[in-house]
Structure formats: C-alpha cells, structure tokens
A = this chain, B = another copy of it.
Amino acid sequence: MASDLDETDRFLPRFDSSGLITAVVSDARDNAILMVAHMNAEALRLTQETGVAHFWSRSRQALWKKGETSGETLQVTEILTDCDQDVLLLKAIPQGKGAACHTGRRSCFYRRVEKGGLVFIDETRLFDPKQVY
C-alpha cells in the first residue's frame, strides 16, 4: 500500500476529476473540527498567499473567501496534508464571532448520530444567520 506520495517532501496535491481537494479545518487552539469544504488550485494558492482560508463552493460553483459575507473568516496558521495527498488539513484561528458554520454555530458538526436520529450537541448561535445572509 506504500506509494511515492507517502514519503516525499514534494507537495503534490491530488485534485479530483473536478479539480477539487477536500479541506478539513480544525481550530488551531484545541483541534476541534470546525468544517469540511473543498479547494481548487486557485483557492489553495489564495489561502497560502493571504493566510485567509479560501474554498471552492460546489453549490455556487464559485471561488469562496470564507467569511466574506459574514465576517467569520479563518486565519490559517498551518496546512498539513495526508499520506496520499488527497486531503488538506487547515489549522486556523476563527475570526469575527468565531462561528465557522453558516448556521451561526462554532462548528458545522453540531449533531450526533444516534439510533433514533440526530441529537443537537451545540445550540449556541454566535450570530443570527437571518441577520447575516
């Protein structure tokens, strides 16, 4: 299962057939996972150049500077890649009110899967999405 991508020090991000790579964002302060999005090469370049997270919005089919509307930008402190270089991990310090999720919550992962359905584990809204979008 070993491959050249595992042990190289060359950055060779594997964009998929749509030109995208999965990007996981965690809070640099406590490792909490905040969101998962996608980047094309331009979003990655802009993130590296500006230190502010940029993604590719699959729903809008457009470059997306995270927080451009809401002010909830992500200051990227570190980018890691995984063994086969098809995922990026962005460690970031959330700016604004600290809500990475468009619902106003800190993290997009605010529901736990249980047998009967989903249980909300975070109902704290750091902003009101109706007033922002």
Contact B112 A80 (CB under 8 A): yes
Does chain B have a CB within 8 A of A30? yes
Contact A103 B6 (CB under 8 A): yes
Contact A111 B80 (CB under 8 A): yes
A108 to B15, CA, bound (A): 18
Does chain B have a CB within 8 A of A42? no
Does chain B have a CB within 8 A of A88? yes
Across the interface, A24 reaches (CB within 8 A) one of B6, B8, B36, B129, namely B36
Min distance, Cβ A47 to any Cβ of chain B, angstroms? 10
Contact B118 A81 (CB under 8 A): yes
A48 to B113, CA, bound (A): 9
Does chain B have a CB within 8 A of A101? yes
A1 to B127, CA, bound (A): 14
Contact residues, A64-88 vs B (CB, 8 A):
78-84, 87-88
Across the interface, A102 reaches (CB within 8 A) one of B1, B78, B81, B120, namely B1
A33 to B48, CA, bound (A): 21
13 contacts between A and B (CB under 8 A): A10-B117, A22-B36, A31-B32, A31-B33, A36-B87, A48-B113, A80-B109, A80-B110, A80-B111, A81-B109, A81-B118, A83-B108, A84-B108
